[in-house]
Amino acid sequence: MTKKATEQELLDFFSSLARDGKLFAVSKSSGKWQRIDDVSDIANAFDSTFSPKNIFMPQDQSLLKFSLTDPIGTIEGETSIIPTGTVLWGMHPCDARAIDLIHRVFNENEYRDPYFNAVWNGIIRIAVGCTEPQATCFCTSFAGGSPFGTQGVDILATKLDSRWIFEPITQTGDDFMKSFEPASDNDIAQLTLIKKHATEKVDCNVPTDIAATLWSRFDDNRLWQEIGDRCLGCGICTFVCPSCYCFDINNEHIDKNARRYRTWDACQFSLFTQEASGHNPRPTQKERIRQRMMHKLSFFAKRYDGTQLCVGCGRCVRECPVNIDIRDIAQRATT
Ligand code: SF4
Ligand code: SF4
């Protein structure tokens, strides 16, 4: 059932979660997604360059620790423990969808990632509907994409003037909202109108059902060389992307205490595919940027029932220092 709360009621509710260490959101002071201690520190998701991907897959994550004196006998896993009732508040619906795509990869057959899944299964995901989409947003270009999308979401919250409307999507979300007051027919009518207006503002003209077409341009040297010549290989596009999930694993030690850890990695880095022999199958930026575009708009779709690994959040478009725009590449690939 759809519920509602005033701004103050929501803050009071969040205060009790924050007191128990059960609230994650964007922090005003750091600009990052993190545990929140003081509700006055909660920012709008658009105030952060990043998505909440780091809550599920930290940029530097210890996987296990051990002692160098007896490595086998002392291995200890370091899976996150999420207290029951912990909430992740405020992500955009496109980010929830992106993290759901990573979940699909990290929870597949025998390859289930215990670190990612411990957070995924333990946290209640409350997304906030985008009532003011940005000029770079193109979520509606994808089948099922919407500024009020519900993929990967337990509860969808939307702000109407000074009150919030909550639409539980999963049973977990429904149970969580039990104590809140039901929304009125008037609230729901207003909500419908706001959703319609906001959705109409989003660019829906980017061609995205292009898995086969893009693949047919794999050997188009001119296309990839021109984009590769501009690309700096900085990896910003991958680090800000909510659906990029490549990582590296290393060991390090201080004296006899060692840990195995993973860090985000990026297909745009020159060493990403370099082999121990020194051979690099993607020796220049031309091959690396082609790989990124192919993975986003062709390879993933071929493997996962036509679903693209881009959700149209627009972050890579906003943050690329040389204005490489995935929307233009999609257009060019189809002309
Ligand atoms: S952000 Fe732009 S310049 Fe940097 S790696 Fe990505 S496409 Fe290349
Ligand atoms: S628009 Fe760019 S940053 Fe956003 S999901 Fe697509 S590829 Fe990733």
Give the C-alpha distances (Å, rounded to integers) separating 127 from 91, 158, 162, 225, 234.
5, 9, 18, 39, 30
The per-residue pLDDT for 18 is: 97
Q: How far is the CA of 27 from the centre of ligand 2 (A)?
A: 22
- Ligand 2 atom nearest to 94, measured from its CA: 5
Which pLDDT value is given to residue 335? 83
Choose one of 232, 319, 327, 328 to mutate for the ligand 1 pocket test, by most ligand atoms within 8 angstroms of C-beta.
Answer: 232
Q: Which residue's alpha carbon is nearest to atom 2 within ligand 2?
A: 316
* Best CA proximity match to 98, nearest among 134, 24, 151, 173: 151
Over the Cα atoms of the chain, what is R_g? Answer: 21
For residue 146 and ligand 2, the question of a CB distance below 6 A is answered with: no
Beta bridge partners of 260: 64, 251
For residue 310 and ligand 2, the question of a CB distance below 6 A is answered with yes
Q: Identify which of 230, 234, 269, 287 to mutate to test ligand 1's pocket (most ligand atoms within 8 A of the CB).
A: 234
Reduce the DSSP state of residue 163 to 3 states and report it: strand
327 lines ligand 2 (CB under 6 A): no
Ligand 1: residues within 6 Å at CB?
231-237, 268, 289, 320-322, 324
Q: Name every residue whose Cβ is closer than 8 Å to that of residue 309 and which is 6 or more positions away in sequence.
A: 101, 243, 295, 296, 297, 299, 300, 301
CA atoms of 191 and 70, how far apart (whole Å):
60
Ligand 1 atom nearest the C-alpha of 236 is 1
pLDDT of the residue at 203? 82
Residues 6+ apart with CB under 8 A from 232: 285, 321, 322
* Alpha-helix residue ranges (DSSP H) falling in 201-308: 211-216, 221-230, 236-240, 285-294, 300-303
Closest CA to 300 of 267, 261, 252: 267
Measure the CA–CA gap between 52 and 50, rounded to whole angstroms.
7
d(CA 249, CA 127): 31
Pick the atom of ligand 1 nearest to 238's CA. 6
The predicted pLDDT at position 97 comes to: 98
Determine which helix (DSSP H) or strand (DSSP E) holds 187, and give its type and residue range: helix 185-200
Q: How far apart are CA 81 and CA 84, in angstroms?
A: 9
pLDDT in tens, the chain (335 residues): 999 999 999 999 999 999 999 999 999 999 999 999 999 999 998 889 999 999 999 999 999 999 999 877 888 888 878 899 999 999 999 999 999 999 999 999 888 999 999 999 999 999 999 999 999 999 999 999 999 999 999 999 999 988 999 999 999 999 999 999 999 999 999 999 999 999 999 988 999 999 999 999 999 999 999 999 999 999 999 999 999 999 999 999 999 999 999 999 999 999 999 999 999 999 999 999 999 999 999 999 999 999 999 999 999 999 999 999 999 999 998 88
Residue (of 162, 54, 132) closest to 99 by Cα position: 54
Angle at 214 between CA 211 and CA 216, to 5 degrees: 110
| Ligand 1 centroid, distance to 210 Cα (angstroms) | 22
> For the CA atoms of 249, 261, 96, 37, what is the dihedral angle to 10 degrees?
-160
Cβ of residue 296 lying under 6 Å from some atom of ligand 2: yes
**Residue 207 in tokens:** 């061609």
- Long-range (24+ apart) CB contacts under 8 A made by 249-252 are 249/63
Which of the ligands is closest to the CA of residue 142? 2
Report whether residue 102 contacts ligand 2, using a CB cutoff of 6 Å.
no
Q: Residue 7: how many CB atoms within 10 A of its CB?
A: 12
Distance 159 CA to ligand 2 centre (A): 25
**Ligand 2: distance of its center to the CA of 24 in Å?**
23
Given the structure tokens 């021109």, which residue do they identify? 226
Ligand of minimum distance to the alpha carbon of 317 = 2
Let me know if 8 is exposed, middle or buried by CB neighbors in 10 A (0-12, 13-18, 19+): exposed
CB 8 within 8 A of CB 29: no
| Intra-chain end-to-end CA distance of the chain, in Å | 46
Q: How many residues does the chain have?
A: 335
